[in-house]
Homo-oligomer: A and B are copies of this chain.
């Protein structure tokens, strides 16, 4: 409980509670506010904002949930041929076709084989299905690794600042020490090796035993996509310093700029000639992100390489205590790593759905970024990837004083004002960490495309009024 009290999780924090109360108020008293709905830009939850699920994935899930359908003739008219074929394949991969049984603690073997093949195809380097641990989304996987890596308060984890607060929350909950390294906003949230070295030395000098480095690529909340050269330097750094590399790669499908490409750390390290003996590497993946955004299914996996059999055994044990992750999520994780292929009946409609979502996200990211950069005192790096913008707001002294008077952080003050004036929910930068004295907020790029102009207008009007009220 002591760690629980210390733990913070801004993405679902105070501002969201305020928004939920406002929503109830709107339902009870329509017209009580100058807006008619709450727009949740606080969390990467695409389907909550109207994104439709990918048809093929849902077809297969429905058939696996109720396999009796597979034997009925009417099913042919309702489902695509390849979804039926895939469902048969999956049901046959489940021992005894028992779709309602606990699976192996790491997940169903056949699904792990599919995922391993998908990783192999993505990277051009083989993946062993025994290295895959299927999990209820990426969050429990991160918790498992933090639990394993943290022995005492003297154990530290290098984490980017700004970071996704799952990391700070998980480190706190497990009684460890977050060692921050700062991303450089001026160079598009650049990850500098010199900064890693400096913070590592500083932590060591304080008696902290730094055990791992968290890298989020594409970045959350910062949206940058790492260059391959940069990734090589990170791998080299981890190898040299004996750090476990915890690679949050859940946004691997979300890249919006032609000049950048996602490379997994597994691929980068293997292309450097490094294998299991050189580097302990964990890659986290989730069905919640990507173009599919299936947050509610709570599926994901971690690929765990380079650990000794002893440590592997401990990872397995922790996975076992929770028995297994949910089978629907397991199936979906296998589908995202092995979607329809050229020639499959669903292929064209699948690609159309996928490309429509990704190209729309590209446009939304660009519109919002441009709008933010036009606001007085606001600068915003490009969202090269992921689902977020993290603009810096230069708040007037008068606004900072007003925030202090309300015993609120200045960025939280701004975000609450924004919420109350427009119904738009964003998360203050202080929830993610930021260079002291700078203020930011995180805003998702997820509202549907036709809503963006109205959001831009509301945001712009609010910001002007705010500045008029507080300008020094």
Binding site for B on A (CB under 8 A): 1-5, 7, 9, 12, 43, 45-50, 53, 55, 58-59, 61-63, 65-66, 68-69, 72, 74-75, 77-78, 95-96, 98-103, 105, 136-137, 139-140, 143, 147-152, 166, 169-170, 173, 175, 288, 292-299, 314, 317-318, 320-329
- Across-interface contacts of A137 in B (CB, < 8 A): 322-323
Contact B173 A323 (CB under 8 A): no
Contact A136 B170 (CB under 8 A): no
A100-B296, A326-B328, A327-B297 as given contacts; A7 in contact with B321, CB under 8 Å = yes
A-B contact pairs, 27 of them (CB 8 A): A4-B147, A7-B317, A9-B320, A9-B321, A12-B105, A43-B102, A48-B96, A53-B100, A58-B66, A62-B62, A62-B65, A78-B78, A98-B296, A100-B292, A100-B294, A102-B288, A102-B295, A136-B325, A139-B321, A143-B322, A169-B321, A170-B321, A173-B318, A175-B175, A298-B323, A298-B326, A326-B326
- Across-interface contacts of A149 in B (CB, < 8 A): 1
- Across-interface contacts of A136 in B (CB, < 8 A): 136, 298, 322, 325-326
Among B4, B96, B147, B326, which residue has its beta carbon within 8 angstroms of that of A314? B4
Give the shortest distance, in Å, between A48 (CB) and chain B (any CB): 4
Contact B328 A297 (CB under 8 A): yes
Give the shortest distance, in Å, between A318 (CB) and chain B (any CB): 6
- Across-interface contacts of A102 in B (CB, < 8 A): 43, 45, 48, 288, 295-296
| Most chain B CB within a 10 A radius of its CB, from A58, A72, A148, A173 | A58
- Across-interface contacts of A151 in B (CB, < 8 A): 1-2
Tell me the complex Cα distance, A166–B139, Å. Answer: 21
Number of copies: 2
Residue of B nearest to A17 (CB): B316
Tell me the complex Cα distance, A320–B43, Å. Answer: 12
Give the shortest distance, in Å, between A136 (CB) and chain B (any CB): 5
Among B170, B321, B326, which residue has its beta carbon within 8 angstroms of that of A166? B321
Further contacts, 5 of them, CB under 8 A, given A59-B66, A100-B297, A139-B321? A7-B318, A65-B65, A100-B292, A143-B322, A297-B326
Residue of B nearest to A76 (CB): B74
Contact B147 A1 (CB under 8 A): yes
Among B1, B55, B299, B317, which residue has its beta carbon within 8 angstroms of that of A4? B317
Give the shortest distance, in Å, between A320 (CB) and chain B (any CB): 4
Contact B322 A98 (CB under 8 A): no
Contact B100 A295 (CB under 8 A): yes
- Across-interface contacts of A7 in B (CB, < 8 A): 317-318, 321
Among B55, B66, B95, B296, which residue has its beta carbon within 8 angstroms of that of A48? B95
